[in-house]
Amino acid sequence: MARADDKRINEVPHGDRLNLSFEGDDVPACAGESVAVALFASGERVLSRSIKYHRPRGFFCLAGHCGACLMRIDGKPNVRACKTPVKEGMRVERQNAFPTGAFDVLGAADFFFPKGMDHHTMMTSPRALNAVLNKVVRQLGGLGKLPDVPASPAELPRPRHKHVDVVVVGGGPAGLGCATETARGGKKTLLVDEQDRVGGSLLAHPQHGVRAANEALAAALKAGVEVLSSSTVLAWYPEDAAVDGGEPGLLAVHTPEGLLKVTASRYVYATGSYDQNAVFVDNDRPGVLPARAVGRLLVRFGVKPAERPVVVGDGPYARALADALARAGAEVTRIDGRDEQIVAAHGHGWVRSVETTRRKKLKCDLVAVAALPAPASELPRQHGVAVAFNDGKGGFHCRVDDDGRANAPHVFACGDVTGFGGIDDAVSAGARCGRAVVASFSANGMGAGARA
C-alpha cells in the first residue's frame, strides 16, 4: 500500500511492490530500488546516527561512496543502504543509537559539546575515572554491533581469476566509451562497475538519463565488451601474482560471487568523481544532498525528491537539475553559491530551512549542493599514477596526456578522474583513450592477449 507521503512519480514505471521490515514496521518498496531509495520514497528520514556526536544521518551521495547510510540489514552491520537492492521481507534497522534510532539519548553528546570535543584533552585524569570512562566509551563507540550469524569460511566461494586484454574500471560515460572502442578494436575487454545499473553519472543527469545509459551499455555489449556490474574494484596489488608463477600485479574485484582477480595487458581507470558537500553550519543534516544524488532520485528512480528544494550552484548541472525539479512540480529556489552562499541549515532529522548570506530564513525541504565533485583517484594512485592537487579540477586528479596515457606503464585514465569535466568531456575523452589503448598494442608489437 502506498503511503500518503509516497514520493514515487506515478507517470514513471516502477518495479513490483514489496515490503521491507524497517525497525519492525512494514515499509513499501519497489523492486529495483535500493534500501535507501525505498525508505526515502516511502517517507522515512533518519537512517542512523553519527559515531561521535550521534547526530542524525540520512543518505548523502546515494552512489556507494560516503559513509552516511550504513545500516544493519538482515542481521549484518554497516551495510550501505544505497547499494543494497530491496527484497521482500528484508530486515532493515538503524544503528549507532541507544536505545533506538528514532530516540537516541546519546544525541546529548551533540548538545553538551556545542563547539565539539577534542579527544586529546579528555578523560585523562584521574586514572580510575579514565578507566571507567574508557569502558563506557567502548560500549557506546564503534560502528554497529556484530552480525547475528558469524561468517562460515567453508561456505565462501573460492577466488577466481580472469585475464583480458583491457580492463576498464568504471561504467560511466568515459568507461563505457573507452571499452566500446577497445572492443571494436578487437581487444578482449572487461568493464567493471560497482553499481547494479551501469551508466554512472548519466543516470543522474536529466538531459541524459536511463535511456542514454542503456544506449551506451547496448553499444558496449554489441561491440563485445564483457560487463561486470555490482562489482567493486577494491585494490591494485602490485606484488601478488594472480596465478602460480605468474607475473605480479592484479586487481582485486569484489563480485557477488566472491573475489575475482583480474589481470590485463592494459588497465584503464574511468572511476569518475565523488560528490562533495559545501561547508556551512549543520551541513550534515539529512536532506542536505549533493545535486547528483538528487538527480539520481529523480532520473534513475522516478522519485520526486522534494516539494520546495533549494539548488546551490551556478554550473550547467545545477541549472539542468533545477529545471527538471521544476518540471516535476517542485517549487525550486536557486542560490548561485558565489554571491549568495548558505551560512547554516536548520532542522534536526531533516532540513527545514537554510540561512544564507542574503536571506535570514529560506524554507525548504531539501538542499541540492552542486559542488565540484572530487576525482576518484585512489585506485590509479595505488597503481603508481601521478596525481596533483588542483582545486579547479575538484581535487587530486590523475595526470595523463590528451589520450589518457599515464606515467605508469600500460595504465590509462579518462573522464572525471583526470579532473572534473562532466559528461560531454567524459564521452569524448573515453573514446579517445580507447583508441589510444588499441594503438598501444601495435606500437609495442604485442598481439591481443600478450601479457604486459
Partner 1 sequence: MSNKAIICRCEDVTLSDVQHTISLGYKSIEEVKRYTGLGTGPCEGKECMVHCARMVALANGGDESVVLPFTSRPPVQPVPLAIFARGEEE
Cβ 53 vs Cβ 109: under 8 Å: yes
Cα–Cα distance measured from residue 5 to residue 75, given in angstroms and rounded to the nearest whole number: 28
By the rule CB under 8 A, 341 interacts with partner 1: no
Q: Which x/- pattern, by CB under 8 A, does the window 195-234 give for partner 1?
A: -------------------------------------xxx
Looking at 22, 59, 60, 412, which residue binds partner 1 (CB under 8 A)? Answer: 60
Minimum CB distance to partner 1 smaller for 54 or for 432: 54
Region from 177-185, 199-207, 252-260, 293-301 binding partner 1, contact rule CB under 8 A:
252-260
By the rule CB under 8 A, 237 interacts with partner 1: yes
By the rule CB under 8 A, 388 interacts with partner 1: yes
By the rule CB under 8 A, 259 interacts with partner 1: yes
Q: Taking the complex as a whole, how short is the minimal distance between the CB of residue 441 and partner 1, in angstroms?
A: 28
Looking at 207, 230, 277, 341, which residue binds partner 1 (CB under 8 A)? Answer: 277
Cα–Cα distance measured from residue 324 to residue 313, given in angstroms and rounded to the nearest whole number: 15
Cα–Cα distance measured from residue 80 to residue 252, given in angstroms and rounded to the nearest whole number: 20
57, 215, 404 from 185: Cα distances, Å: 47, 19, 17
By the rule CB under 8 A, 276 interacts with partner 1: yes
Q: Between vectors from CA 426 to CA 425 and to CA 431, what angle results, nearest 5°?
A: 105
By the rule CB under 8 A, 156 interacts with partner 1: yes
Residues 6+ apart with CB under 8 A from 145: 72, 77, 95
201: exposed, middle or buried (C-beta count within 10 Å: 0-12, 13-18, 19+)? buried
By the rule CB under 8 A, 1 interacts with partner 1: no
Region from 58-66, 305-313, 315-323, 439-447 binding partner 1, contact rule CB under 8 A:
58-66
Residues 6+ apart with CB under 8 A from 18: 28, 29, 30, 31, 86, 87, 88
240, 242, 262, 452 from 246: Cα distances, Å: 9, 7, 12, 11
By the rule CB under 8 A, 267 interacts with partner 1: no
Minimum CB distance to partner 1 smaller for 40 or for 60: 60
Q: Taking the complex as a whole, how short is the minimal distance between the CB of residue 103 and partner 1, in angstroms?
A: 18
Give me 447's grid cell.
598481439
Q: Taking the complex as a whole, how short is the minimal distance between the CB of residue 299 and partner 1, in angstroms?
A: 22
Looking at 43, 258, 409, 447, which residue binds partner 1 (CB under 8 A)? Answer: 258
Q: Between vectors from CA 33 to CA 273 and to CA 60, what angle results, nearest 5°?
A: 40
Give me 196's grid cell.
547494479
Q: Which x/- pattern, by CB under 8 A, does the window 400-439 give for partner 1?
A: ----------------------------------------
Number of residues counted as binding partner 1 (CB under 8 A): 65
For partner 1, the binding residues in 74-113 under the rule CB under 8 A are 78, 110-111
b/e code 330-341 from CB counts within 10 Å (16+ = b): bebbbbebeebe
Cα–Cα distance measured from residue 137 to residue 222, given in angstroms and rounded to the nearest whole number: 56
Q: Taking the complex as a whole, how short is the minimal distance between the CB of residue 52 and partner 1, in angstroms?
A: 4
Q: Give the three-class secondary structure for 303.
A: strand
By the rule CB under 8 A, 143 interacts with partner 1: yes
Residues in touch with partner 1 (CB under 8 A)? 50-53, 55, 57, 60-61, 64-68, 70, 78, 110-111, 114-116, 118, 120, 143, 151, 153, 156-159, 194, 232-237, 252, 254, 258-259, 274-277, 279-284, 374, 376-379, 381-382, 387-391, 394-396
